[in-house]
Amino acid sequence: MKILLFISFIIVSSVSFATTWNVGPGQTYTMPSQLVALVQNNDTILIFGGIYLNDASIWDKKNLVFIGLGTGANRTILRHSTDIPNGKGIFVFESPNLADNPTILNIVFDGAQVSDADGANGAGIRFQARNLTVRNCKFMNCQNGILEGNAIVSASEVLVEDSEFENNGYQLPDDPTYSGFAHNLYISASTVVFTLRNCYLHHPRGQANSIKTRALMNFIEYNFIDEGSTGYGSYELNIAQGGMCAVIGNVFIQGSSGANHAIIGYDSVTNPMQDFYFVNNTVINRFVGNVRLFNITPSSGINVFKVYNNIFASVPGATNSWFGSNTPAFLDSTNNVFSANFLSLNFLDGTNSNFHLTGGSTSAIDQATNPGSTSTMYPLTPFYQYVNFSLPMSLRNNVGLGMDIGAFEFTNGLGTNALEVPKIMSIYPNPSKGLFMIEKNQNIQEIEIFTLDGKPILFERNQKMENTEIKIDRSGVYILKAQLKDGSIISQKLIVELN
């Protein structure tokens, strides 16, 4: 239902684009590649349900919107069964300024591979332009799910939401131990802001990382990341170039067969920002052996390393070290739960990877502390929790005396939204086209808006009888900070999508 409603909204709003094209059986165009020479900037391509075999495309127009119309057993699937002739991927955007700002919705990318001679890093989406949005997509059996990066690009933003990554990575046939250099998801230093939200990444192959990023700022929120019993992957999250990283409300599961027995890697300090925040995550190790929760390569240079309100647990018999290599000099940790036997934490069904809390999870219930904000004013308190990548995230409301530790809030059988905490500040719509309404609240004294790197911006504000209207004229992610009359400060993220 979520996908159908979302698609309906996009189709209705697509009248603002230059042309809408239909692709599929019985249509004038039966393969997406037939439109490459025809589409213009701002066009929309509707792809009907079905399997589109061995059809790869290089797109060179701006603001294209691709929408898969298939659902259920008849999803829109772009499948490759041979090496891709372009040497890059199924959908390729390789020209900055010409192919910027694509949006890709509800499409399955299956089997992307290129030959060893071409680099052996074929991708479902190979992105070398600026600003990519992916929602409700699936990437499976590819050497890379998404491979992003271009040395001449330095200011791209990548948003991936509500999507699934399965069995991606490089491996030789029937050789799961082969060490490849491809990943479920790879983001390069071309990206300034990378956001991964409400996604399911599982069963990587060939020593792939589930997530590898070199972006300046990373927001990894409310995802379920699981190597599974057969996944032969490396890090669940590899932060390969440092940066400002907010990792909030995720489930990380190291599988029983992984190649690299470490869960989070922090490999370098080459980005100008070096602040790491790991808050309200549930981290499970299923490998019986020596496992490092964090593998920190740099011995200095990390300014903030905050680890708050997390659950770290494993199967019995494992030896879990909090840090491999180096311990960050500025380590700030509190209210974390450690267990050598994850079953002792009384999860709802931990054996089958259901890590919701029960009444017996007393070490986690009401034990969390306020994590505050990043140095750029980004709020670290989890507002949502993962349900399923194909469903909306659930609002996370405190039930009881305070917030719980880990990725989920115990609800005492009342449901995730049963006890709605009164909102101090209500902002809608969010995301928006740049216009936000803030409900009047006598406690709010002053409002400021910042970019994610902490720079204040100018914005228009009009006072109305019921609400305050705020207008921002540039796409991006911003932080609104409100000072209350009692001196306290609350903050919320604003997402502007003008295209």
Per-residue pLDDT, 458: 80
**DSSP conformation class of 299:** S
DSSP labels, 52-94: EET--EEE--SS-EEEE--BTTB-EEEE--S--TTSSEEEEE-
Per-residue pLDDT, 15: 43
CA gap 252, 400 in Å, rounded: 26
Q: Could you count the other beta carbons within 10 Å of the beta carbon of residue 448?
A: 15
Contact between residue 125 and residue 99 where contact means Cβ atoms under 8 Å apart: no
Q: Which residues pair with 186 in a beta bridge?
A: 147, 212
Residue 415 CB partners (closer than 8 Å, separation 6+): none
CA gap 280, 371 in Å, rounded: 9
CA gap 490, 480 in Å, rounded: 8
**DSSP conformation class of 422:** P
Write out the E strands in 14-171: 20-23, 44-47, 50-53, 57-59, 65-68, 76-79, 89-93, 103-105, 108-110, 123-127, 132-135, 138-140, 144-148, 156-161, 164-166
Per-residue pLDDT, 148: 96
Per-residue pLDDT, 97: 94
Residue 87 CB partners (closer than 8 Å, separation 6+): 114, 115, 118, 119, 122
Per-residue pLDDT, 421: 32
Q: pLDDT tens per residue, the chain (499 residues)?
A: 344 444 444 444 444 448 999 999 999 999 999 999 999 999 999 999 999 999 999 999 999 999 999 999 999 999 999 999 999 999 999 999 999 999 999 999 999 999 888 888 999 999 999 999 999 999 999 999 999 999 899 889 999 999 999 999 887 655 655 666 678 999 999 999 999 999 999 998 888 889 999 999 999 999 999 998 887 888 999 999 999 999 999 999 998 887 788 899 999 889 999 999 999 999 999 999 889 999 999 999 999 999 999 999 999 999 889 998 899 999 999 999 999 999 999 999 999 999 999 999 999 999 999 999 999 889 999 989 999 998 888 888 776 678 999 999 997 654 433 223 334 567 878 788 888 888 766 667 788 888 877 788 888 887 776 678 889 988 888 888 877 776 666 677 788 887 6
- Indicate the Cα dihedral angle 486, 307, 496, 197, nearest 10°: -130
Q: Where are the domains of the chain?
A: 2-352, 427-496
DSSP labels, 206-257: TT--SEEE--SEEEEES-EEE-TTT---S-SEEETT-EEEEEES-EEEE-TT
Could you tell me the two tokens for 417?
């939204």
CA gap 237, 244 in Å, rounded: 14
Give the HSE-up count for residue 451: Cα atoms under 13 Å, Cβ half-sphere: 12
The residue type found at 488 is: S
Burial class (CB in 10 A: 0-12, 13-18, 19+), 101: buried
Contact between residue 449 and residue 479 where contact means Cβ atoms under 8 Å apart: yes
- Alpha helix stretches (DSSP H) within 372-491: none
Q: Which residues in 4-43 are b (16+ Cβ under 10 Å) and which e?
A: eebbeebeeebeebeeebebbeeeeeebbbebeeebeebb
Cα diameter, the chain: 67
Contact between residue 296 and residue 266 where contact means Cβ atoms under 8 Å apart: yes
- Closest by Cα among 35, 1, 9 to 20: 35
Contact between residue 221 and residue 248 where contact means Cβ atoms under 8 Å apart: yes
CATH code for 2-352? 2.160.20
Cis ω for the linkage preceding 431 (within 30 of 0): yes
Could you tell me the two tokens for 481?
């900070």
Contact between residue 1 and residue 23 where contact means Cβ atoms under 8 Å apart: no
Strands 138-140 and 164-166: parallel
- Closest by Cα among 268, 263, 272, 265 to 298: 268
Per-residue pLDDT, 465: 62
CATH code for 427-496? 2.60.40
- Name the phi and psi angles at 147, rounded to 5: -120, 115
SS3 2: helix
CA gap 187, 132 in Å, rounded: 11
How big is the chain by its Cα radius of gyration, in Å? 22
Edge-to-edge strand list for the sheet holding 274-279: 20-23, 44-47, 65-68, 103-105, 132-135, 156-161, 191-197, 217-221, 243-248, 274-279, 304-308, 331-334
Per-residue pLDDT, 355: 96
Q: Could you count the other beta carbons within 10 Å of the beta carbon of residue 325?
A: 15
Q: Which residues pair with 446 in a beta bridge?
A: 483
SS3 128: coil
Contact between residue 497 and residue 431 where contact means Cβ atoms under 8 Å apart: yes
Contact between residue 284 and residue 342 where contact means Cβ atoms under 8 Å apart: yes
Cis ω for the linkage preceding 429 (within 30 of 0): yes
Tally DSSP H helices, then E strands, for the chain: 1, 44
Contact between residue 265 and residue 233 where contact means Cβ atoms under 8 Å apart: no
Contact between residue 244 and residue 275 where contact means Cβ atoms under 8 Å apart: yes
| pLDDT tens figures, 226-246 | 998 887 888 999 999 999 999
